[in-house]
Chain A
């Protein structure tokens, strides 16, 4: 079985974000694998194991040929990667990103299943997975909190407001997984060493026939204003000396909540 996992390399969320002059996100410094994607990578590795064989291919997009985050996922056990890398990709919106990733799935070839996170931690549009499925003409099983594959079909438990739905489709299909769905493994030392030599197929937007469809131009938007949100003032703060709960009780009583 051939499983593709969409992964995103994002600026370290622990470092405060900043914008470029054209209002796109500054992506300087060493990017990391979006933690949201580690669940998809782990799920893919487990599904391939359960199927008794096959491989996991990563697909990703970056403006500058960056592979630091990809190496983390390769170290977990993915076999190879396709990276769409091109300065023309800078500023891509969700649709442009989905176009690049859908082409990368086709380039990976013979794919049974595409896995993605429900949304990235930086852009968080939550639309890319279903857009990729639409571009490929595949079913999309979104917001999965459990995934099983048997007899050429994928069955998931789809998160809903009230509980979950059991949803099934034939392969090939796309599944987006929620965080916490599996426990991502830590890369072993051996895995980290092996990852350095795993193949990363780097291709450009032009290689994929996507001239003019990715990047800021493809996003067809203008930013008209950027400003800081109104700050909220801090109130009172108390060290708990065993009576801290009484402060909360008093506060709630004032609000007539209790």
Chain B
């Protein structure tokens, strides 16, 4: 059994649709006969071509003005849902995605199922999430009919193009976002990004409390990541301590990564962290506490001081290059 109409709230950075959006559209194609996307932004034509390539046939475009796109989009999405009654609207569990699903949920008075890792339609739409730091998997369904609102964590599915042509663009108007549109973006600051993105890198190096001090983050974590042409991340402990920004956090309340190699430096391996990285292909851990839970899932564990092991490692890698 498949669903008739599955919608996806599509996000883009500039005019490039996010990988997480394409992952969700790919899944939508599998569980639904027709896939449509809703996008709030000013690059409608470019987004229509990209979502079309992954299987969406219609793109509803909402102009968010100067507002936060997810928050303004909700009013448009709610109006469209009332008009077209799709079976499901899928969102990415991102910054804007969470804004959009939260406000949509209130507008439609529908619960939203969040942090989905799996989605099947074989026996009615069933959504799977993880609790207790990914140790336990839970499947849930809506107990009643009506539109399903579901948030999906990035990296849950693989994006695969369908080879479709551009989606046909439908401009949405006539909705009123109310005061939701009053939160205006005055300026955007892009921090200089060197190297690959955390979610897209083949190698991810993350640091935790065990690195000792915020000053150690750059020479240990960033430098090792750089030497391996990878991205750098962090455990919740050092984000909470203000050593690095929230955007670098890997874990339950943070990002999910699935690199070829994940290197955990001074990270004990609280379940909160494991859920964000335990599906990495290979895990290397360096920690001075030999009993740390991270060693329970590491393919290679070094029980030692990161301040000794990592500088020697960086030196050795540089010498090979």
Given the known inter-chain contacts A131-B106, A162-B191, A229-B130, please indicate yes or no for A119 contacting B253, CB distance below 8 A: yes
Q: Is A134 an interface residue (CB 8 A)?
A: yes
In the complex, are the beta carbons of B182 and A169 less than 8 A apart?
A: yes
The answer to the question of A128 belonging to the interface, with a C-beta cut-off of 8 Å to chain B, is yes
Distance in angstroms between the alpha carbons of A165 and B69 in the assembled complex: 12
Given contacts A235-B301, A239-B303, contact A225 B253 (CB under 8 A): no
* Bound-state Cα–Cα, A237 to B249, Å: 26
Q: Which residue of chain A is the closest to B297 with respect to CB atoms? A: A232
Provide the bound-state CA to CA distance between A10 and B278, in Å: 25
Q: Is B114 among interface residues, defined by CB-CB distance under 8 A?
A: yes
Residue of A nearest to B224 (CB): A248
Write 18 A-B pairs (CB below 8 A) sorted by A numbering.
A94-B111, A125-B112, A127-B101, A130-B99, A142-B98, A161-B94, A163-B189, A173-B183, A220-B143, A221-B143, A224-B140, A224-B141, A229-B134, A232-B296, A237-B290, A239-B303, A248-B300, A255-B261
| Chain A proximity mask over B155-199: 1 for CB below 8 Å, otherwise 0 | 000000000000000000000001111111111111101000100
List residues 194-249 of chain A with CB under 8 A from any CB of chain B.
Answer: 218-229, 232, 234-240, 242, 244-249
From B68, B239, B252, B316, A142 is in contact (CB under 8 Å) with B68
Q: How many Å from the CB of B14 to the closest CB on chain A? A: 9
Q: Does B81 contact A (CB under 8 A)?
A: no
A96 to B111, CA, bound (A): 8
The 8 Å CB contact of B106, one of A98, A142, A221, A246, is A98
Contact digits for A4-25, partner B, Cβ 8 Å, 1 yes 0 no? 0000000001001101000101
Q: How large, as a class, is the contact surface on chain B?
A: 35 or more
Determine whether B313 belongs to the interface, using a CB cutoff of 8 Å to chain A: yes
Q: Of B131, B178, B260, B316, which contacts A249 at CB under 8 A? A: B316
Q: Is A167 touching B185 in the complex (CB atoms < 8 A)?
A: yes
Residue numbers in A under 8 Å from B142 (CB-CB): 220-222
Once the chains bind, are B239 and A257 in contact (CB under 8 Å)?
A: no
In the complex, the answer to whether B189 meets A95 with C-beta atoms within 8 Å is no
Closest residue of chain B to A248, judged by CB?
B313
Q: A124-B253, A183-B242, A252-B261 are in contact. Are A223 and B140 (CB under 8 A)?
A: yes
Interface pair B183/A221, CB less than 8 Å apart: no
Task: Please list the 10 inter-chain residue pairs (A to B) with the smallest Cβ-Cβ separation, ordered nearest first.
Answer: A240-B304, A130-B102, A235-B299, A237-B301, A127-B102, A178-B246, A163-B191, A180-B242, A134-B106, A245-B313
User: Separation in Å of the B231 CB from the closest CB of chain A?
Assistant: 12
Structural contact, B182 and A139, CB atoms closer than 8 A: yes
Q: Do residues B138 and A95 form an inter-chain contact, with CB atoms below 8 A?
A: no
Question: Residue B308 at the A interface, CB < 8 A?
Answer: yes
State in angstroms the CA–CA spacing of A96 and B303 once bound together.
46
Q: Is the CB of A131 within 8 A of B184?
A: no
B320 at the interface (CB under 8 A from A): yes
Question: Is B284 in contact with A130, judged by CB distance below 8 angstroms?
Answer: no
- State how many angstroms separate the Cβ of B106 from the closest Cβ of chain A: 4
Residues of B within 8 Å of A124, CB to CB, are 114-115, 252-253
| A contact residues around B320 at 8 Å (CB) | 249, 258
Are B245 and A159 in contact (CB-based, < 8 A)? yes
Decide if A238 touches B114 in the complex (CB within 8 Å). no
Interface status of A2 (Cβ within 8 A of chain B): no
B61: CB under 8 A from chain A? no
A223-B140, A245-B309 given; A240·B303 CB < 8 A: yes
Cβ of B82 to closest chain A Cβ, rounded Å: 16
A191 within 8 A of B: no
The docked-state distance in angstroms from the alpha carbon of A247 to that of B305 is: 15
Q: CA–CA, A236 to B13, complex, Å?
A: 41
Complex formed: what's the CA distance from A19 to B131 in Å? 10
B132 A17 Cβ-Cβ under 8 A: yes
- Selected contact of A166 from candidates B105, B134, B185, CB within 8 Å: B185
Give the shortest distance, in Å, between B140 (CB) and chain A (any CB).
5
Bound complex: CA A158 to CA B228 (Å): 30
Q: Is B180 a contact partner of A222 (Cβ separation < 8 A)?
A: no
Question: Given the complex, which residues of A lie within 8 Å of B110, measured CB to CB?
Answer: 95, 220
Chain A 6-53 interface residues, beta-carbon cutoff 8 Å to B: 13, 16-17, 19, 23, 25, 35-36
Instruction: Check A129 for interface membership: any CB of B closer than 8 A.
Output: yes
Complex contacts, A96 vs chain B, CB 8 Å: 111
Chain B min CB distance to A45 (Å):
17
Q: Is the CB of A139 within 8 A of B180?
A: yes
Contact call B286/A179, Cβ cutoff below 8 A: no
Q: Could you tell me the distance in whole angstroms from the C-beta of B146 to the nearest C-beta in chain A?
A: 9
CB nearest neighbor in B for A125: B114
Query: How distant is B113 from chain A, measured CB to nearest CB, in Å?
Result: 7
CB of A138 within 8 A of CB of B189, answer: no
Point out the residues of chain A lying under 8 angstroms from B13, CB to CB: 161-162
State whether B179 touches A125 (Cβ < 8 A).
Answer: no
Chain B residue with Cβ nearest A173: B183
Distance between A234 CB and nearest chain B CB, rounded to angstroms = 5
Expressed in whole angstroms, the Cα–Cα distance for A225 and B290 within the complex equals 35
